[in-house]
Amino acid sequence: MTVTAYTLAVVLDLFVVYIGARFLLQPAPSAAGYGVPASPSGGDPAYLTVKGLRDLAFGLLGLALLAFAGARAEAWFMLLVALVPLGDTLIVLRNGGKKAVAFGIHFATAAVVLLSAALLFAV
């Protein structure tokens, strides 16, 4: 179970790093994939940059916790950070995004992050 717990945590952290970097490098396509497209006029680059930086920092923090503080610290981090995809679910729903994206991507991500937390607490 330890290998599974650590592997899932690393994969999730790296995925969040990727999402953050993508938002910084390709903001408009990333926003569309998020479920709420960017303004066609390009009037919201600061918000997209904030999202990218937030995700990049969360992913790197998760990796650092796992490497330097251990599974228990990473478990608490995952438990708390699950609030982000739960919030993203609501953001997509409240801004006219598709329910399939809200639940199929964001809510499902929250569930996997919570599973990761549970596995890390168990090791």
Closest C-alpha to 107, from 120, 123, 119, 90? 90
Give the torsion sign (CA, 45, 47, 27, 65): positive
Tens of pLDDT, residues 35-69 = 988 887 777 788 899 999 999 999 999 999 999 99
The mean of the pLDDT values for the chain is: 95
Domain boundaries, given as residue ranges, for the chain? 2-122
Tens of pLDDT, residues 7-17 = 999 999 999 99
How many Cβ atoms sit within 10 Å of the Cβ of residue 46? Answer: 8
Angstrom distance (rounded) from CA 17 to CA 53: 9
What confidence score (pLDDT) does residue 37 get? 87
Angstrom distance (rounded) from CA 24 to CA 45: 9
